[in-house]
Structure formats: structure tokens, C-alpha cells
């Protein structure tokens, strides 16, 4: 089903460069995926959808490792972002993660497992209920979702489960960025004898206790996930806390 531009989107298109304004309409999937219709029904329902060049998904056109594909979603050019859902059309588990920017900008970097070549998309819901969609094709040899994690062959991973390391940058090209790494196997459950075991909730809060962002990872996020976000105007220590689907929790403080 296609939906017309909302009045707000029409007004916005009038202020954009012609090339971007032309892309700001539901004119069929620009990535020409046979799965787009199913993805739209599954994740976006009956809400209005716009393919929007302001939603930038950066990923390699050819991924050497299907288990560690770097992806960055940048929707900071969109006002009023409420929710972002990231999915890969041809993955056996399509939903990669969701994130909810609150005090932080709508920006997140992470790594994902891909089973085969696929579009990787970000659908961004704004306060008016419209989904703005961007994406990129990633070509890969495949098998990322059904290959065993490195942790599966280690006897020490349980001792380091949910071990956290992080860093903030105040200068240089990464100024204003925050990076968090969590030791976790992120098992998809698609390997015989290995149940799904993955982080399912992460919250970032500033020194005043205000939440910057909430992230809900799913099985396709890569093992030992690394998340990069912008801390926005937040200063001082950032606290990260979360849990996995087995109830294991973590909490860490990341100093500037």
C-alpha cells in the first residue's frame, strides 16, 4: 500500500533541494528489494512511509566478514525523531535493533551479522507518525547468522559475560562521541543446540540522571557488540546499564 505525502512533508519538500525533494515521496522501493512489501507490513504497518534521503545508512557495499558488518544510522537531519528501527530484508531474523533517542541525537553506529546479501534499512518515526526510510545494499558471502560465535569455543567467556569497556571523546574527529563495548556472544538461536542469547535492553543516562538513548538490540547484532553514539550536550560521566534475555544485567560508568 502506498500513502500520499502528509501536509507537513509537502511543506518540507518545498524547502529542500530539488533532488532531495523528489526523493521525499513514496515512489516505490529505491533499493528494489523483493522483500520490501513484507518489511513494510511487518515493521511499519499502515502508517505513512517516505523514502527520505535525510535518513543516512552507511555500510560497506561489500562486507568481507558477514559476522561483523559495520553500520551507521544518522537521522540527525530529521526533527522530532521518536524511534528508529533497523532491519535487514533477507536475514532470517530481519530486525537488527531499535533505538529511541531522547536527550541524544538520532545517531548510532554498531555491527551486524548478515546471512546473505541484503538491503540494510533504518525506518525513523517522527512525532507526526510518519516513517522516514533510508537504506543501503550490502553484498556479502553470507552465513553470518548461522555461524557459531567465537565465544562458543571458549571456556572463559562466562567469566567475562557483560564485561563493559567504554570511551568518550572531547577532541578530534570523534569529539562528542561515546563508544561502548560489551562482552556477549549474541547467539541467534539458529545453530542446533545453541539457544538464542542476546542483549535486549541498554540505556544511556547523563550525570543528571536524564536518559540520552535507549537501545533494544536483537539477535543479528554482532558478538561482543560495540555501540557508538553522540552524547549531544551531555557532559561528565555517562552511565550505561542493561540486561540480556536471560536476565543478566550490567552497569558501567564512562568517564569523559
Residue 97 in contact with residue 226, Cβ under 8 Å?
no
Residue 207 in contact with residue 236, Cβ under 8 Å?
yes
CA atoms within 13 A on the CB side of 52: 27
- Could you report the per-residue pLDDT of 234-253, keeping only the tens digit for each? 889 999 999 999 999 999 99
Alpha helices, DSSP H only, in the chain? 7-13, 18-23, 36-39, 157-160
Residue 135 in contact with residue 31, Cβ under 8 Å?
yes
Domains of the chain (ranges, CATH numbers) = 7-254 (2.60.40.2470)
* CA separation for the pair 6, 9 (Å, rounded): 5
Provide the pLDDT confidence category of residue 153 given band limits of 50, 70 and 90: low
13 has pLDDT over 80: no
- pTM, two decimal places: 0.89
Amino acid at each position: 500500500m502506498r500513502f500520499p505525502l502528509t501536509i507537513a512533508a509537502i511543506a518540507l519538500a518545498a524547502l529542500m533541494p530539488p533532488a532531495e525533494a523528489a526523493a521525499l515521496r513514496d515512489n516505490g522501493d529505491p533499493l528494489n528489494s523483493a522483500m520490501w512489501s513484507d518489511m513494510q507490513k511487518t515493521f511499519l504497518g499502515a502508517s505513512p512511509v517516505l523514502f527520505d534521503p535525510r535518513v543516512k545508512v552507511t555500510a560497506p557495499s561489500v562486507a568481507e566478514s558477514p559476522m561483523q558488518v559495520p553500520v551507521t544510522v544518522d537521522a540527525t537531519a530529521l526533527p522530532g525523531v521518536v524511534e528508529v528501527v533497523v532491519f535487514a530484508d533477507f536475514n532470517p531474523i530481519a530486525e537488527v535493533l531499535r533505538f529511541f533517542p531522547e536527550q541524544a541525537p538520532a545517531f548510532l553506529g554498531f555491527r551486524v551479522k548478515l546471512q546473505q546479501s541484503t538491503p540494510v534499512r533504518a525506518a525513523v518515526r517522527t512525532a507526526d507518525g510518519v516513517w522516514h526510510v533510508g537504506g543501503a545494499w550490502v553484498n556479502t558471502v553470507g552465513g553470518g547468522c548461522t555461524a557459531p560465535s567465537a565465544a562458543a569455543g571458549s571456556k572463559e567467556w562466562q567469566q567475562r559475560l557483560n564485561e563493559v569497556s567504554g570511551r568518550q571523546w572531547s577532541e578530534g574527529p570523534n569529539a562528542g562521541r561515546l563508544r561502548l563495548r560489551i562482552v556477549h556472544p549474541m547467539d541467534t538461536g539458529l545453530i542446533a543446540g545453541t539457544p538464542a542469547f542476546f542483549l535486549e535492553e541498554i540505556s544511556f543516562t547523563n550525570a543528571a540522571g536524564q536518559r540520552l538513548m535507549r537501545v533494544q538490540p536483537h539477535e543479528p547484532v554482532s558478538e561482543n557488540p560495540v555501540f557508538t553514539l553522540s552524547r549531544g550536550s551531555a557532559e561528565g560521566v555517562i552511565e550505561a546499564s542493561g540486561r540480556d534475555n536471560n536476565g543478566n544485567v550490567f552497569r558501567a560508568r564512562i568517564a569523559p
